[in-house]
């Protein structure tokens, strides 16, 4: 007796003439099993934000926070509305879903001098042509943390990685 996945495979073979590749129910798209719930890590070190960049990969889009020094604290979550820290004003974002990304790294040094300068707070990184990302916008740097709003196509699985001098947010292209 065929299970649900087997019936779908047979139906696709009959309708399209090609058998689909086998995908585990737990592996998801491209083997991704990240989920879309909030992710966080308490900081044990701190650093300063010095850059922000994005890249496209086969299965996901990537946002990278470049830091001067080690950092490992972050909070990333889908939200109804990204707000500017410390004002609480909404940060307009394009896309069907919004990720608030906060790293435990200020965008200024101990004397208050900016360490990360951006020409346009609404377009921190050019993500034109990205499959998942729609917009990266400034949401503030206050009391040792920096936040950005990440507009994405839809609520999709994501992961957060920390490396010695960066925090990385990957958002899958599909489920």
Which tens digit of pLDDT belongs to each residue from 104-121?
999 999 999 999 999 999
CATH architecture of 32-172: Sandwich (2.60)
List, in sequence order, every beta strand (DSSP E) within 85-165. 97-103, 133-142, 145-152, 158-163
Q: Mean pLDDT for the chain?
A: 87
pLDDT band at 14 (very low <50, low <70, confident <90, very high): very low
What whole-number distance in Å separates Cα of residue 120 and Cα of residue 156? 26
Residues in Cβ contact with 18 at an 8 Å cutoff, skipping those fewer than 6 apart: 12
What whole-number distance in Å separates Cα of residue 83 and Cα of residue 100? 8
* Residue 44 pLDDT: 87
Dihedrals phi, psi of 104, to nearest 5 degrees: -80, 60
* Domain locations along the chain: 1-28, 32-172
- State the burial class of residue 165 (Cβ atoms within 10 Å of its Cβ: 0-12, 13-18, 19+): middle
Asked whether residue 8 carries a pLDDT value surpassing 70, the answer given is: no
- State the burial class of residue 54 (Cβ atoms within 10 Å of its Cβ: 0-12, 13-18, 19+): middle
State both tokens at 31. 């083997």
């Amino acid at each position: 007796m065929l299970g649900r996945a087997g019936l779908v495979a047979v139906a696709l073979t009959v309708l399209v003439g090609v058998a689909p590749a086998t995908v585990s129910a737990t592996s998801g798209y491209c083997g991704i099993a990240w989920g879309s719930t909030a992710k966080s890590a308490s900081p044990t070190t701190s650093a300063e934000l010095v850059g922000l960049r994005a890249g496209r990969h086969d299965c996901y889009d990537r946002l990278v926070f470049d830091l001067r020094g080690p950092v490992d604290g972050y909070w990333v979550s889908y939200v109804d509305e990204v707000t500017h820290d410390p004002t609480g004003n909404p940060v307009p974002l394009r896309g069907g879903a919004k990720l608030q990304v906060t790293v435990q790294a200020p965008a200024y040094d101990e004397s208050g001098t900016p360490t990360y300068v951006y020409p346009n707070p609404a377009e921190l990184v050019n993500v034109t042509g990205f499959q998942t990302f729609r917009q990266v916008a400034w949401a503030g740097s206050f009391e040792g943390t920096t936040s950005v709003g990440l507009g994405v196509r839809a609520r999709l699985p994501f992961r957060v990685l920390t490396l010695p001098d960066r925090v990385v947010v990957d958002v899958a292209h599909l489920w």
